[in-house]
Every structure is written in structure tokens, then in C-alpha cells.
Amino acid sequence: MAIPKRRGVLVAIILVLAVALSVVLVTGVAVWNAAHTDDASRVQSADAIIVLGAAQYEGAPSPVFAGRLDGAKILFEQQRAPAVLIVGGGQPGEGFTEAASGRHYLIDRGVPESSVTAIPVGSDSLESLRAAASYMDGHGMHSAFLVSDPWHNLRIKRMASDLGIVPYASATWHSAAVSQSTRLSGYIREVFAYLYYRLTGR
């Protein structure tokens, strides 16, 4: 009788693994599709452009961050939204936040000061988007273009939607996507980050 019991346990394990693999594969396809979908190609305007922060060095945005900021600048110059919100805090002991350095970067490149708001909150995407949602709610804003790296699109759109923002992803490919291996690792990381968020809300 032990053999059928063992066989049943083995079948159960195989089924669980098959379901888990299916979930990962389906999520991977969704992440890939979202990364290659630019909502700005079908949506003309929104209330704001939200730039997700990235590393900065003594007030100078990293290449990854600069790529996102340049993408937001293009959207602003196309008159897609009247306001640019830059989110992201700083590391302990740093004199600059991601949001502040991003704001200076855009102003130095011709975006009007009155159109750029720094929201220096958040050490991750969810915290930053929560702060952006609070700001938008207080200023009568409801929709936003989200500018980050492409593989983030699915997760940040889900987060923004859960926070009450109508989200449109418009990622930049001119930042972290410097090689095929970088892109692949970005996709793999985002698959599990998205699943973690869906499971835990964090």
C-alpha cells in the first residue's frame, strides 16, 4: 500500500510544480508584453508625468535615472501633461534626494520650474507611488504617465492603479537596457517582484 501513497504524493508535487511554473511563465509573458507597450502611443494626455527615481551621485542623476528624466522631458515637450512629478528619497547621509536631483536636472534642461515637483519620498517604487498618489489627490490629478525602465511597466501600473491613479506606462529604453544580459536579468527580477507584490501587497 505504500507505493500508491508515494505515487499520490509524487503526483501532487508534480501538479504543484506545474501550476507554479505556469504562473511564472504567464507572468513572464505579461511582463514582456507590458515592457513593449508604450501607452503614450494611444493616449494623448494625462494629468501628470511621474518619473520613478533611481540612483543619483551628489545631485547628478545616474545614467539610468537620466534616461528616465529625458523620457519625461520628451513627454512634457509634446504637451502630454502639464506637470512632472519626480519621486524618490535618498540614502542616509546623502545631501540630495533622487527627486531633488531629478528636478534640478530637468530645470537645467529647460523645463519650467513651476511644472516640476520633487516628491522626496520612498526607498522603493510602492512608497514613492504612494506619495505621488497622495500629492495628486490633493491637487485634483487622476491620471499619469509612468516613466521608468520598461520591465517595470506591469508592476508599477498595477501599483499605481491600486493607489487610485489611472496609469499609462511610457518607459524609456535609454537607461538600464545596455545589454541583452541586463535586459534578461531585469525581466526575470520583475517577474518575481510582480508576483511578490500580488501576493503580499508590498
The CATH number of residue 125's host domain is 3.40.50.620
Residue 76: name the closest of 115, 128, 132 by CA.
115
Residue 152: in which H helix or E strand, if any? none
End-to-end CA distance of the chain: 45
Cβ–Cβ < 8 Å for 147, 128: no
Residue 50 belongs to a domain: yes
Residue 18 lies in a domain: no
How many separate helices (H) and strands (E) can be counted in the chain? 6, 7
Query: pLDDT tens-digit profile of 130-187?
Result: 999 999 999 999 999 999 999 999 999 999 999 999 999 998 876 555 566 667 788 8
Q: What is the pLDDT of residues 65-80, one digit of tens each?
A: 999 999 999 999 999 9
Note whether 44 and 80 are within 8 A (CB).
Answer: yes
Please report whether residue 191 resides in a domain. Answer: yes
Cα gap 139→104, rounded to integer Å: 22
Q: Which pTM was predicted?
A: 0.89
**Is residue 8 assigned to a domain?**
no
| pLDDT for res 182 | 67
Exposed e or buried b for every residue in 45-57, given b needs 16+ CB within 10 A? ebbbbbbbbbebe
In terms of residue numbers, what domain contains 121? 35-200
In a domain, residue 63? The reply is yes
The whole-number pLDDT of residue 174 equals 67
Q: Is residue 134 part of a domain?
A: yes
How many folded domains does the chain comprise?
1
What's residue 51's pLDDT?
A: 97
In-domain check, residue 103: yes
CA–CA separation, 155 vs 190, rounded Å? 8
- Residue linked to cell 493616449: 43
